[in-house]
C-alpha cells in the first residue's frame, strides 16, 4: 500500500510520528505535513501565494501551507503513485461535534475523500500533555487495517476519536453520529505596550451535550468513536418547508 500521512499540528508533532510508525506495517508511508501548527485551519487552500516544500528526510516533507495544501501536494506532486489511503492525525485534542467544521485534521481527510481516496482522520481526545499517542496509533492501525479489508461506502470518510487511556483500557469502537455542544464564544481585547488594541479569539468552556450515540458520549465512556462523514451539507429535512416560502416560484 501507498499511504499518505498528514496532520494540522505540524510535522514535528508527536502524534504524526506515532501514526507514521504504526502504519509502516501496512505499506509505504509518506509524510506530508505543515511546517508548523495549523490547527483550526479548516478546509482552506493557499491560492494567493506560492507553496514551499522542504524534504526533512526521505519520505518526510514539510509544507508551508495548510493541511488541505499538504494533501494536494502529496497526491499531485510529491508521491510517485496515487496513495491508496490518506490518514490525518493524530491530532492533539478531540475533533468531535461542531469542532469538525474548524478542524484541519478532518479537512485533510475530507480533501482526500473529494479525490476519491479512502481517508481517516484520527484524534486523541485530550488537550493536556499526553503520552498516549502510541496507544492511539495502535487504534489507527486497527481502523486502517479494517478499511483495507472492506470497502468504504461511497462519499464517506471516517472521523476517529480515541480516549486518553492506555490501549488495554480503551473500550471497543462505537459507530457514532456527530454530537453537539453548547458554546458561547468570546473575544478578548487588550492593549499592547505601544498602546494599540489587539484581539484574541477565545471561548468559555463548552458544555458537551452527552447524548447517547454521539461521538462525545462514546469517548466519555472510554470507547473509540468512529463517525462516518460525507461532504453533502444539504439539510434535506428543510427542503419541503423552504419550498413553501412565498419567494420560491419553482
Instruction: Find the helix or strand (DSSP H, E) in which 236 lies.
Output: helix 236-242
Residue 194 lies in a domain: no
Range(s) of the domain holding residue 155? 2-182+208-242
pTM > 0.95: no
Rounded alpha-carbon distances, angstroms, from residue 200 to 51, 131, 145, 190: 27, 29, 42, 8
Residue 198 lies in a domain: no
Are the CB atoms for 180 and 231 separated by under 8 Å? no
Residue 188 lies in a domain: no
Residue 145 lies in a domain: yes
Q: How many domains does the chain fold into?
A: 1
Residue 193 lies in a domain: no
pLDDT tens, 150-168?
989 989 999 999 999 999 9
Range in 48-62, 83-97, 152-166, 235-249 with the lowest mean pLDDT? 235-249
Q: Quick one: which of 171, 173, 166, 170 has its CA closest to 228?
A: 173
Task: Give the CATH number of the domain where residue 157 resides.
Answer: 3.40.1210.10
Query: Per the omega criterion (within 30 degrees of 0), is the bond before 5 cis?
Result: no
pLDDT tens, 199-212?
887 655 666 777 88
Amino acid at each position: 500500500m501507498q499511504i499518505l500521512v498528514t496532520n494540522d499540528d505540524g510535522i514535528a508533532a508527536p502524534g504524526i510520528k506515532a501514526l507514521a510508525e504504526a502504519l509502516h506495517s501496512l505499506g509505504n508511508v509518506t509524510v506530508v505535513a505543515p511546517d508548523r501548527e495549523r490547527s483550526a485551519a479548516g478546509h482552506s487552500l493557499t491560492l494567493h501565494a506560492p507553496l514551499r516544500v522542504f524534504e526533512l528526510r526521505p519520505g518526510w516533507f514539510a509544507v508551508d501551507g495548510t493541511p488541505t495544501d499538504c494533501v494536494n501536494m502529496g497526491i499531485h506532486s510529491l508521491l510517485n503513485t496515487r496513495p491508496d489511503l490518506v490518514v490525518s492525525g493524530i491530532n492533539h485534542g478531540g475533533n468531535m461535534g461542531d469542532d469538525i467544521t474548524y478542524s484541519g485534521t478532518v479537512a485533510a481527510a475530507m480533501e482526500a475523500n473529494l479525490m476519491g481516496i479512502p481517508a481517516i482522520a484520527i484524534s486523541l481526545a485530550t488537550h493536556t500533555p499526553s503520552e498516549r499517542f502510541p496507544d492511539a496509533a495502535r487504534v489507527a492501525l486497527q481502523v486502517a487495517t479494517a478499511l483495507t479489508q472492506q470497502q468504504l461506502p461511497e462519499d464517506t470518510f471516517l472521523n476517529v476519536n480515541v480516549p486518553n487511556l492506555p490501549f488495554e483500557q480503551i473500550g471497543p469502537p462505537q459507530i457514532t453520529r456527530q454530537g453537539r455542544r453548547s458554546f458561547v464564544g468570546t473575544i478578548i481585547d487588550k492593549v499592547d505596550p505601544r498602546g494599540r488594541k489587539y484581539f484574541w479569539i477565545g471561548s468559555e468552556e463548552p458544555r458537551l451535550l452527552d447524548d447517547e450515540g454521539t461521538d462525545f458520549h462514546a469517548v466519555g465512556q472510554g470507547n473509540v468513536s468512529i463517525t462516518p462523514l460525507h461532504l453533502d451539507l444539504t439539510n434535506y429535512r428543510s427542503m419541503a418547508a423552504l419550498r413553501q416560502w412565498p419567494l420560491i416560484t419553482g
